[in-house]
Amino acid sequence: MQNKGLIKLFAFLFGLVSIYQLSYTFITAKVEKDATLFATSAVSPSEEDYVAKREAVEATYLDSIGGNPILGYTSYDDAKKKELNKGLDLKGGINVTLQISVKDILKGLADNTKNPIFNKALADADAASKDSDETYIELFFEAFDNIKGDAKLASPDIFANKGLSDEVNFQMTDDEVKPIIRRKIDESVVSAFEVLRERIDGFGVTQPNIQREGKSGRILVELPGARDIARAQDLLSSTAQLEFWETYEPGNQSLINFFIQANEELKALVEDTEEETIDKEESEIDSLLSDVTQDSLDLATERNPLFEKLQLNAPGFAVGIAAIKDTAEIGSYLRMPEVRRLLPADVQFTKFLWERPTKDSEVASLYALKSNRDNTPRISGDVVSDARDQFDQFNRPAVGMDMNVKGAKLWEKLTSEANLNNTGIAIVLDNKVYTAPGVSQV
């Protein structure tokens, strides 16, 4: 009898622990359901690309209430970390395997050489890769060794070129060059991996999974709950675009007036949303977790929806600064049609982009870039013929660039206008501002 009582006690305790652990899953499911309902009511299916817009609104909603207390012992952000990880099997979503083109990386490292032996080795590696599990780089080295004759990997027209001059010289043997090229390939794959991670972080799905598959150059991406296949494909497979944009001068009055009016407009929109949400009927579980909805309303009805998150006094050519956790919400505000229409005529095509924050930074700067009806940059990266690491006159790390004739003329015009207008030149990659120096700093 005593044994039976002990078993019942353990079963009871196990049940309590299980319910406690599962409560996190129930809580996140409830909050995410609220976010979906909110996004559905906020974005009409008649709008262009409404699925992506709804996902963005959902992400903003969840980000805005993430730290609010729920039931006195957790928050959405905390519960999300402790919930049952459903993954693709239970939640559905998108599963993609991406293959990084090692061949293109090799061609870039060799400065797109016309060397016939190099290009024949690439072609042979292509053929061999169809029936081999070996990595592409090793197949290339094997193919090169088979046909090289007197040629060397350290030939001036292969890897002992201008771009690799700091690491490869023509006196090196192939065995000395190979580990350098392997490392360069790995660095390129890691760079692609990080770009994909940043893109996925902005996709708006929870618990994404991204991982490298050994040295193969393949990257596995899982997006639980994602539904827009076309958007995911574009996000993951599009080439990173280097662009140059002109900023506005510091303290531009038209932009300041816009932000003030935008804050007022958001007040009115929030009040309308509050009235609609309060009218919703709640089920028994809704009542149990009603503090989630109330907390989100309390947050949304702040006196200044925009200025509570965005500080306009920013250094340099930025127009504002905000905590990284608030950038998604601010971005969604600035993309709203009701807000965009408030832009004065002289800045009506403004493009707002965030800087790429450093690893340990908790804040990010917001930039307003001069755009046009077609939303095209002043200069695209396709005019850049060469880019390399170097050091400036103060021995600080810098990037040197060469442009073709068209790019040089565009660059001269852009820098002249920026100097005259006291504006900056924003260097943008993947819709993130990496730097925005003034002309005296370019």
Q: What's the CA gap between 173 and 69, in Å, rounded?
A: 63
How many other CB atoms are found less than 10 A from the CB of residue 126? 14
pLDDT at 371: 94
Contact (Cβ atoms closer than 8 angstroms) between residue 367 and residue 355: yes
How many other CB atoms are found less than 10 A from the CB of residue 405? 9
Q: Is the pLDDT of residue 338 over 70?
A: yes
Using pLDDT thresholds of 50, 70 and 90, give the confidence band for residue 52: low
Average pLDDT of the residues in 263-277: 69
Is residue 25 classed exposed, middle or buried when 0-12, 13-18 and 19+ CB atoms within 10 A define those classes? Answer: middle
Give the Cα-Cα-Cα angle 313, 319, 320 (nearest 5 degrees).
55
Using pLDDT thresholds of 50, 70 and 90, give the confidence band for residue 357: confident
Using pLDDT thresholds of 50, 70 and 90, give the confidence band for residue 8: low
pLDDT at 258: 96
Residue 94: phi, psi to the nearest 5?
-125, 130
Q: What's the CA gap between 313 and 259, in Å, rounded?
A: 12
Is residue 64 classed exposed, middle or buried when 0-12, 13-18 and 19+ CB atoms within 10 A define those classes? Answer: buried
Q: What's the CA gap between 386 and 403, in Å, rounded?
A: 7
- Spell out the SS3 assignment of the chain: CHHHHHHHHHHHHHHHHHHHHHHHHHHHHHHHHHHHHHHHHHCCCCCCCHHHHHHHHHHHHHHHHCCCEECCCEEHHHHHHHCCCCHHHHHCEEEEEEECCHHHHHHHHCCCCCCHHHHHHHHHHHHHHCCCCCCHHHHHHHHHHHHCCCCCCCCCCCCCCHHHCCCCCCCCCHHHHHHHHHHHHHHHHHHHHHHHHHHHHCCCCCCCEEEEECCCCEEEEEEECCCCHHHHHHHHHCCCCEEEEEECCCCCHHHHHHHHHHHHHHHHHHHHHHHHHHCCCCCHHHHHCHHHHHHHHHHHCCCCCCCCCEECCCCCCCCEEEEHHHHHHHHHHHHCHHHHCCCCHHHCCCEEEEECCCCCCCEEEEEEECCCCCCCCCEEHHHEEEEEEEECCCCCEEEEEEECHHHHHHHHHHHHHHHHHCCEEEEEECCEEEECCEHHHC
pLDDT at 378: 93
Give the Cα-Cα-Cα angle 394, 169, 146 (nearest 5 degrees).
145
User: Lowest mean pLDDT: which of 149-153, 240-244, 372-376, 395-399?
Assistant: 395-399
Q: How much is the pTM?
A: 0.59
Using pLDDT thresholds of 50, 70 and 90, give the confidence band for residue 270: low
pLDDT in tens, 102-136: 999 999 889 889 999 999 999 999 999 988 888 99
User: Lowest mean pLDDT: which of 29-38, 386-395, 420-429?
Assistant: 386-395
User: Lowest mean pLDDT: which of 94-98, 172-176, 187-191, 329-333?
Assistant: 94-98
Using pLDDT thresholds of 50, 70 and 90, give the confidence band for residue 208: confident
Residue 440: phi, psi to the nearest 5?
-65, -15
Using pLDDT thresholds of 50, 70 and 90, give the confidence band for residue 340: very high
Contact (Cβ atoms closer than 8 angstroms) between residue 30 and residue 286: yes
